Amino acid sequence: MRRIREVVLPMAASDEHLPKTVREYRAKYKGVSRILDEHSEILEAAHEDLKKLSQGGRKARSGDFTSETLLRALIVHAIEGLSFRETVVRIAESEFLQDFLRTRKRAVMDHSFLDKCLQAVRPATWKRINELLGRQAAAHQTIATATIRTDTTVVETNIHWPTDSSLLWDTWQLEGETVPAVERVFSLFEPHTELIQRGRREKPVEFGHAVLLCQTPEKFITDYEVFEERPADCTLTEQVIERHEKLFGERPEVLANQGMT
């Protein structure tokens, strides 16, 4: 059984004597910590997924880390932009980050376990957390939702770029029938990969998935979607407006669409 949190004193040490860069670095984490403390529903959403990692083991054994610590470790992983191995090393070497995780000076988790934690949190849960953050930011007037900018881009999958025809199954060998791009398998390990024609001179074709991003003038991403099959950009406008209205209770006054770039 995994506990959701435990009572630990928040970060309270003074940063006045530190260089400006370090103060700004710490202020970012303190701001994130304050948001998590003020909106417990964020942790509760993640806990529903993370608590499953401690099920099915030794009888009555509690997880070594609370869901709060694991969620905060994943946030450090995202903010620092490091690998899992590098993330746990940085946490282990930083008392400040250990305080952010609220580990009570326990040994840091193994990098492979942190990877399992990320896999345990479902995409729907991350989206729910993003919606919670968006609603709270709008309620506190931190973001303005009247103007929304949408953009569709491509996130490439980690596959070997098919640089020649020998790496693709272009035709049926008996009748010479051309196989449409949507029916080709570009990777046995990433079979969901889609060929997307971008029309850009430097990179006319990419292999991955189309992604829709919606953001406010403050660069806050209010909504996103990863498509299994790329839709036409012209079909997305009404979907974006309807989802925005469902999220914030009103339709945007201005909607700018950059399109696939």
Provide the b/e sequence for 201-213 (b: ≥16 CB within 10 Å).
eeeeebbbbbebe
Residues 152 and 253 in one domain: yes
Residues 148 and 251 in one domain: yes
DSSP codes, 150-173: EEEEEEE-S-----SGGGS--B-T
* H or E element that contains 147: strand 147-156
Residue 155 reports pLDDT greater than 90: no
Q: Indicate whether 36 belongs to any domain.
A: yes
Give the pair of three-digit tokens for residue 47: 């806990």
Q: Indicate whether 92 belongs to any domain.
A: yes
Bigger pLDDT: 246 vs 17? 246
Residue 41, C-beta contacts closer than 8 angstroms, at least 6 positions apart: 132
CA distances from 235 to 228, 230, 239 (A): 15, 11, 8
Out of 1-5, 73-77, 123-127, least confident range: 1-5
* H or E element that contains 207: strand 205-215
176-221 tens-digit pLDDT: 666 666 666 666 666 677 777 766 666 777 778 888 999 999 999 9
Full residue range of the structural domain in which residue 248 is found: 143-260
- Which of helix, strand or coil describes residue 40? helix
Residues 232 and 151 in one domain: yes
Q: Indicate whether 61 belongs to any domain.
A: yes
Q: Indicate whether 5 belongs to any domain.
A: no
Structural domain count, the chain: 2
68-122 tens-digit pLDDT: 999 999 999 999 999 999 999 999 999 999 999 998 777 899 999 999 999 999 9
- Which of helix, strand or coil describes residue 4? coil
Residues 148 and 255 in one domain: yes
Q: Where are the alpha helices (DSSP H) in the chain?
A: 20-38, 40-50, 67-80, 84-92, 95-101, 111-120, 123-139, 237-248
Rounded CA separation 89/94 (Å) = 9
Residues 94 and 181 in one domain: no
